[in-house]
Amino acid sequence: MNIKSYKILVVDDDPIIRDMMVDILGLEGYPVEVARNGHEALEKLHGSEDYLVFLDLLMPGMNGRDVCEQLNAEAAVRARHIVILMSALDNLTHAKMLHVNSTLPKPFSVEDLLRVVQPYMGNPTG
């Protein structure tokens, strides 16, 4: 399978979660960027890079649902990225309606996270 080259983007308002994901994925050798809210995330997604996005559902201001809906409205932009929806609540059942590629419930272990990343990123290069 021809693995496309993605960067990982962690979108979460909680610094603890952002730091932890950067630590885990960085140590695995993946390139990781962060966004503290929906606005920052959309800005990056509209850039030239293709991202594997870990998007937190519950954020102040623009939340994960809002980000998905904006992306879905722009098919060309949406098509370049992989979107994984995260939530600490058991409310990911309706994620299908947001046309996300996958979901990741919190809390999760390193293995849970890597199991989601690997199909898209392959084994890390570093």
Partner 1 sequence: MSTSTWGGPEAYPNESYPSSLLRHLLHHMMTQFAAQGACIALFDESIEQLRVQAHVRLRNAALAASSAAALNASGHRMTIHLENDTPSPFARQSTPVLEALDDVLPRQGDLFAIGTAYPIGQDLIGHTWLKGEAAIMRHDEYLHAPFRSIPALYTDVTPTCYLAVPIHESTLVDTLQGHQYTANILGVIILYQFTPGTGFQPRQRAEALHYVEQIALYLQNYQLQQSHRRTSDYLQRLQEISTVFPSSVKLPDLVEQIYQFVGQVVDASSMLFTLYDRDLKKIYDVFAINNGTRIETLTEQPHIMSEEERPVWWQIAQQEQRTLLFSPAQEARKADDYLELLSGTWGNQQQAESFLLLPMKMFNRVIGTLSLTSLRTNAYHPEEVQVLETMLQIVTVSIENAKLYERDRQLLQEAKQREAQLAAINSALQAIGSGLNVTDLLNSLVKSVAVLVNVDMCVFFQFTPASDELFTHAIYAPTIIRQADDGSELPAIAVHQNKKEHEELINMVRFPIKETILEQRLSEGFFYLDSAQLDELAQKGGEAFAIFLQETQIQHMLMIPMSYQSDMVGILGVPTPKDTHFFRPKDIASLLAICAQATSAIRNAQLFEQREEAYAELERLSKLKDEFLVTASHELRTPLSAISGYSSLLRRQSSRISAPQILRFATKIAGAADQLTNLVTRMTEAAQMGAVDKKLYMQIEPVHVLSAVEIASTMLTFNVEQKITYAVSPDLWINGDATRFRQVLSNLLENAVKYSSPESHVYLSATATTLQEAAKLLSDGQFDPALLDQGDPPVVLIRVQDQGEGIEPADQHKIFEKFVRAPRSLTTPVRGSGLGLYISRRNAEAMGGKLWLESSVPNEGSTFSFYLPRIDPPIGTGEQETGEHKIL
Q: Contact residues for partner 1 (CB under 8 A)?
A: 13-17, 19-21, 23-24, 27, 36, 57-61, 63, 65, 88-89, 91, 106-111, 113
In this complex, which beta carbon is closest to partner 1, that of residue 40 or of residue 49? 40
Residue pair 71/83 in contact (Cβ under 8 Å)? The answer is yes
- Integer Cα distance of 33 and 21 in angstroms: 10
In this complex, which beta carbon is closest to partner 1, that of residue 48 or of residue 93? 93
Place of tokens 């559902």: 57
- Integer Cα distance of 37 and 61 in angstroms: 8
- Least CB distance to partner 1 at residue 50 (A): 25
- Least CB distance to partner 1 at residue 44 (A): 17
Contacts of 66 (CB under 8 A, 6+ apart): 38
Q: How many CB atoms lie within 10 A of CB 113?
A: 19
- Least CB distance to partner 1 at residue 64 (A): 8
In this complex, which beta carbon is closest to partner 1, that of residue 63 or of residue 80? 63
In this complex, which beta carbon is closest to partner 1, that of residue 2 or of residue 109? 109
- Least CB distance to partner 1 at residue 45 (A): 20
SS3 state at 22: helix
